[in-house]
Amino acid sequence: MARVRTLIVQAPGTNCDLETAFAFEQAGSIVETAHINELVCRKAPLSCYQIMVIPGGFTYGDDISAGKILANELRLRLGGDIQRFVDDGRLILGICNGFQVLLKAGILQRGTDVTRESVTIAANDSGRFECRWVYLRVKEESDCVFTRGIKVMYLPVAHGEGKVFAEAGVAEKLQAVLYYADEEGVISDVYPLNPNGSIGNIAGASDISGRVFGLMPHPERFVRWTQHPRWSMEAPRDRGDGLQIFANAVEWAKAI
């Protein structure tokens, strides 16, 4: 069986591509990177890959709003290619800035009546850049491919705009998958457990198929136990909490 191939999309300001590539390699995938312009020019056809990833960073300096410019590029210049990619049963992952991109491009809302204009990612309620570790609770009955078998996680966040903000009644229509929680896994809206004030304590969501997933926390920053902030004081583990997200994706993609 051919190995799974993962494509990591780069744009000016991307800065988490190497860590994300390492995580997918640890999960057993072949990983390649391509600049957004290479995709637009079809030098890196999406059809060659089973997984597409938009990693963290500050694409185009987040000058208009976080992820907005790259979102427009994907929607206006690659919309058809991405639609076919997902329709063919392939996977898309967006991490932090990638989550912002997927939401603002409308890719994450596919299959629902949630419009691009009715939901966004806004500035943190704290008015500051939040760089901290958070506890997360997974919606166990979710169809999300990436979170299968996971109940709780402990992952870092690093963002200035991470608050999921929506019009009245819209948040309930999103396919929320991941929530900010306390150490016991109880969903919480108390700062800093919820570091940004996200509506419904949403930390991540998927499309209706469960094959497109975006999250604000950084799973690629905790794939080894020694990346844990208390690794030298707690009993060692074989892996970090984030690795299972990548392993789930690669395992699923083997059948594509």
Q: Nearest Cα to 33, choosing from 47, 44, 23, 25?
A: 44
91-95/51-54 β-pairing: parallel
Residue type (1 letter), 20: T
- At residue 1 the predicted structure's pLDDT band, cuts being 50, 70 and 90, is low
pLDDT in tens, 58-83: 999 999 999 999 999 999 999 999 99
Q: Stretch 15-28: mean pLDDT, rounded?
A: 98
What's the CATH number of domain 5-253, 3.30.530.20, 3.40.50.620, 3.40.50.880, 3.40.50.720? 3.40.50.880
**What positions carry a catalytic annotation?**
96, 218, 220
Looking up tokens 């870092």, which residue turns up?
A: 156
Q: What tens digit of pLDDT does each residue of 221-250 get?
A: 999 999 999 999 999 999 999 999 999 999
**Phi/psi class of residue 15: alpha, beta or left (left: φ > 0; alpha: ψ in -120 to 50)?**
alpha
- Do you find a cis peptide bond into 192, omega within 30 degrees of 0? yes
The H-assigned helical ranges of the chain are: 17-26, 36-40, 68-77, 79-87, 97-105, 243-253
On the question of a cis peptide bond just before residue 217, with omega within 30 degrees of 0, the verdict is no
In the chain, where are the structural domains located?
5-253
Report percent pLDDT > 70 for the chain.
100
Looking at the DSSP assignment, which residues form a beta bridge with residue 137? 152, 179
What's this model's pTM, rounded to 2 decimal places? 0.97
What is the overall mean pLDDT for the chain? 96
pLDDT tens column, 165-200: 998 888 888 999 999 999 999 999 999 999 999 999
Q: Rounded distance, CA 31 to CA 68, Å?
A: 25
- 79-87 and 68-77 are packed helices; what angle lies between their axes, rounded to 10 degrees? 80
Is residue 2 over pLDDT 80?
no
Determine contact, residues 23/222, Cβ cutoff 8 Å.
no
43, pLDDT greater than 90: no
Would you state the pLDDT for residue 171? 84
Q: What residues does 93 pair with on adjacent strands?
A: 53, 213
Identity of the residue numbered 43? K
Instruction: Give long-range contacts, CB 8 A cutoff, 24+ apart: 140-144.
Output: 142/175, 142/177, 142/206, 142/210, 143/206, 143/209, 143/210, 144/175, 144/177, 144/206, 144/210, 144/213
Please name the residue that has the structure tokens 């419904």.
Answer: 200
Q: Roughly how many angstroms between the first and final C-alpha of the chain, as a whole number?
A: 11
Q: Is the predicted pLDDT of residue 125 greater than 60, yes or no?
A: yes
**In the structure, what pLDDT confidence band is assigned to residue 138 with cuts at 50, 70 and 90?**
very high
Instruction: Give the span between the Cα atoms of 171 and 181, in whole angstroms.
Output: 18
pLDDT recorded at residue 38: 95
Distances, alpha carbon 232 to alpha carbons 226, 227, 235, 244, in Å: 8, 10, 8, 22
pLDDT at 256 (0 to 100): 87
187 DSSP assignment:
B
